[in-house]
C-alpha cells in the first residue's frame, strides 16, 4: 500500500490515437497502472471525450482515472467531420501536440506535474512534446511486433517498395516467417493505396530512437523472436494482452469491460440468444469498428452463413446494414441474429460460441487468443493480413479464407473454411491450440507472469 500511495505521485499521461482499436488497449493499460500505484490521466480527443458518459474511470485502487482531453482540430465530429483522411491526419498532427503541451503546462500549474507520456505509435508528435518538457517518453504499440518490424524495415529503406518489382516479392524480416505479398500489411503490399495511412505507420519510427521505453500489447510467447530482435534496439517490454482482467487473471475486480464503446452494445439480447444455443454451435462474425465491406462481399457472406446451417451471431454496424441482401435478417431469424454492436468479449467467452469469423483487427486477435476461440480469418486491410498469417501458421488456431482475383472471399471458400473450423478434422487441433494460448495469455497477466513482471519493472522506473 505504501508503494501505491507513493506511486500516486508518479503521474503519467496516456495519449491514444482516436480509434476504438487504439483506445481500448491504452485505457486498459491505464487501469493496470492505476492498480500498481501510478496515476494515469487519459487524453482522448475532445470529440471522443464528449461521447463518454463520465469524465473519470473508477478503479477500486484509489481515485478514479481522470480524463483530460486534447484536440484533433475536429472537436464537434472527429474523423467523420474531416474532409479527408489527409485533412484529419494533418490536423491532429498540428492540434494534438499544441493542446498536449498546453495540458502538460496546465497540470504543472495545478500542482500535478507529469513524469511520463505514454503515447500511441500513431501519435509520434506526443514524443516530441514529452521530450520538449524533459519527460520520459514511452511508445505504446497497439499492433503486433511483427507488423511494426516490417514498418520499421520499410521506413529505414531495408525493404524496397513497391514489392512487386523485378526483385523478390516475398518479405523477410528477422523472427517473422517469410511473408507472401498478401500477408504483408496492406499499406506496404499495395504501396500507394492509402498514402496518408502509409505515412502515419512510417512516422511511428521517425523519432523512435529518442524513446525511453517501448511497450507492446502482446504477451512474450506470441512473438518471441521478433521481440528479442527489437529488444536489441530499444527497451522493449511486452505488457499484454490488455483484455479486461475479468477474462484473464481476475486480479482487477472492477475491470470487466472496455471503458469506452463507440457504439452501444446489445449485451442482453446477445446473451439471451446465446444462452438458448447448444455448446459451440454458434459462428460469431465481426469485422470490427472500421472495415467497410462491399455489397458483393456481404452477399457472399450472407449466402455462406445461410448454407452453413449453423447458428450465427453477426455484428453488422448500423451504417453497414443497408448492404445486407434484402430480407436476409427476417429470413434467417431462426438461424441467426444480426446486431449493430455487441460485447465481443462476452460472446467470445460464451460456451455457445464455436468459432470467430474475424477481420483480424489486432484487438480481436488478442481477444480470441485470450478466450481460446478458433478462427476463420477474413482480413480486409492494414495489418490484418499479417495477423491472419499468424493465426493460421504460427498460432495455428484456424484458417485464412482466400480472396479471388477481385479481392472478394466467395461463399464456397467461406463455407469450406467455416466447415473446417466448426467440424473439420482439424477442429480438435485448433481448439487445443486455442486453449494453449488462452492459458499462456492468463499466465502472462498473473502475478509474476511475463507481462506482469514487465509492468512492475516499468512502474518501478516511473516511480523512480
Residues of this chain that interact with ligand UDP (CB under 6 A) are: 19-21, 24, 265, 286, 288-291, 315, 341-345, 361-364, 367
For ligand UDP, the closer CB: 61 or 79? 79
* Residue 356, phi then psi, degrees to nearest 5: -120, 115
Least distance between ligand UDP and beta carbon 282 (Å): 14
Quickly count: other Cβ atoms within 10 Å of residue 461's Cβ. Answer: 16
For ligand UDP, the closer CB: 104 or 285? 285
For ligand UDP, the closer CB: 116 or 274? 274
Burial class (CB in 10 A: 0-12, 13-18, 19+), 134: exposed
Q: Which residue bears the cell 496518408?
A: 196
Least distance between ligand UDP and beta carbon 273 (Å): 14
Q: Which residue bears the cell 486498459?
A: 28
Which positions are catalytic?
A: 22, 120
Least distance between ligand UDP and beta carbon 210 (Å): 27
Parallel/antiparallel/unpaired status of strands 311-315 and 336-339: parallel
Q: Which residue bears the cell 514529452?
A: 130
Burial 22-45 (b: 16+ CB within 10 A, else e): bbbbbbbbbbbbbbbbbbbbbbbb
Least distance between ligand UDP and beta carbon 367 (Å): 5
Spatial separation of the C-alpha atoms in residues 223 and 390, rounded to whole Å: 9
Could you tell me the three cell numbers for 69? 482531453
For ligand UDP, the closer CB: 289 or 454? 289
For ligand UDP, the closer CB: 310 or 363? 363
Least distance between ligand UDP and beta carbon 341 (Å): 4
Burial 210-242 (b: 16+ CB within 10 A, else e): ebbbbbbbbbbbbbeebbebbeeeebbbbbbbb
For 441: left if phi > 0, alpha if psi spans -120 to 50, otherwise beta; the answer is: alpha
Amino acid at each position: 500500500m505504501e508503494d501505491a500511495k507513493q506511486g500516486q505521485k508518479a503521474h503519467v499521461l496516456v495519449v491514444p490515437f482516436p480509434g476504438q482499436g487504439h483506445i481500448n488497449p491504452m485505457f486498459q493499460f491505464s487501469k493496470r497502472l492505476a492498480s500498481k500505484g501510478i496515476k494515469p490521466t487519459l487524453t482522448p480527443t475532445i470529440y471522443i471525450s464528449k461521447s463518454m458518459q463520465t469524465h473519470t474511470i473508477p478503479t477500486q485502487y484509489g481515485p478514479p482515472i481522470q480524463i483530460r482531453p486534447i484536440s484533433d482540430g475536429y472537436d464537434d465530429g472527429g474523423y467523420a467531420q474531416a474532409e479527408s483522411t489527409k485533412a484529419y491526419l494533418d490536423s491532429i498532427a498540428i492540434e494534438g501536440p499544441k493542446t498536449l503541451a498546453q495540458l502538460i503546462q496546465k497540470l504543472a500549474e495545478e500542482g500535478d506535474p507529469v513524469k511520463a507520456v505514454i503515447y500511441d505509435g500513431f501519435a509520434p508528435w506526443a514524443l516530441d512534446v514529452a521530450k520538449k518538457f524533459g519527460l520520459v517518453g514511452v511508445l505504446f504499440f497497439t499492433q503486433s511486433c511483427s507488423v511494426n518490424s516490417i514498418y520499421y524495415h520499410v521506413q529505414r529503406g531495408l525493404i524496397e517498395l513497391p514489392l512487386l518489382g523485378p526483385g523478390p516479392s516475398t518479405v523477410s524480416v528477422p523472427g517473422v516467417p517469410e511473408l507472401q505479398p498478401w500477408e504483408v500489411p496492406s499499406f506496404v503490399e499495395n504501396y500507394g493505396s492509402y498514402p496518408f495511412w502509409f505515412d502515419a505507420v512510417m512516422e511511428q519510427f521517425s523519432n523512435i530512437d529518442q524513446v525511453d521505453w517501448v511497450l507492446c500489447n502482446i504477451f512474450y510467447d506470441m512473438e518471441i523472436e521478433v521481440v528479442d530482435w527489437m529488444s536489441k534496439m530499444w527497451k522493449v517490454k511486452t505488457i499484454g494482452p490488455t483484455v479486461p482482467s475479468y477474462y484473464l487473471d481476475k486480479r482487477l475486480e472492477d475491470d470487466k469491460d472496455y471503458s469506452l464503446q463507440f457504439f452501444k452494445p446489445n449485451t442482453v439480447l446477445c446473451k439471451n440468444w446465446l444462452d438458448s444455443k447448444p455448446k459451440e454451435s454458434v459462428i460469431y462474425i465481426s469485422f470490427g469498428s472500421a472495415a467497410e465491406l462491399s455489397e458483393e462481399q456481404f452477399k457472399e457472406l450472407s449466402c455462406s452463413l445461410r448454407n452453413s446451417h449453423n447458428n450465427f451471431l453477426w455484428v453488422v454496424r448500423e451504417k453497414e446494414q443497408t448492404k445486407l441482401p434484402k430480407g436476409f435478417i427476417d429470413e434467417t431469424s431462426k438461424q441467426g441474429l444480426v446486431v449493430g454492436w455487441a460485447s465481443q468479449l462476452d460472446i467470445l467467452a460464451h460456451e455457445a460460441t464455436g468459432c470467430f469469423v474475424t477481420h483480424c483487427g489486432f484487438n480481436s486477435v488478442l481477444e480470441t487468443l485470450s478466450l481460446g476461440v478458433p478462427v476463420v480469418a477474413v482480413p480486409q486491410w492494414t495489418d490484418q493480413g499479417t495477423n491472419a498469417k499468424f493465426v493460421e501458421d504460427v498460432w495455428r488456431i484456424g484458417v485464412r479464407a482466400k480472396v479471388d482475383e477481385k479481392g472478394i472471399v466467395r461463399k464456397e471458400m467461406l463455407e469450406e473454411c467455416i466447415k473446417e473450423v466448426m467440424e473439420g478434422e482439424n477442429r480438435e487441433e485448433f481448439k487445443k491450440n486455442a486453449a494453449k494460448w488462452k492459458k499462456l495469455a492468463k499466465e502472462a497477466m498473473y502475478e509474476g507472469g511475463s507481462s506482469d513482471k514487465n509492468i512492475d519493472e516499468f512502474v518501478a522506473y516511473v516511480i523512480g
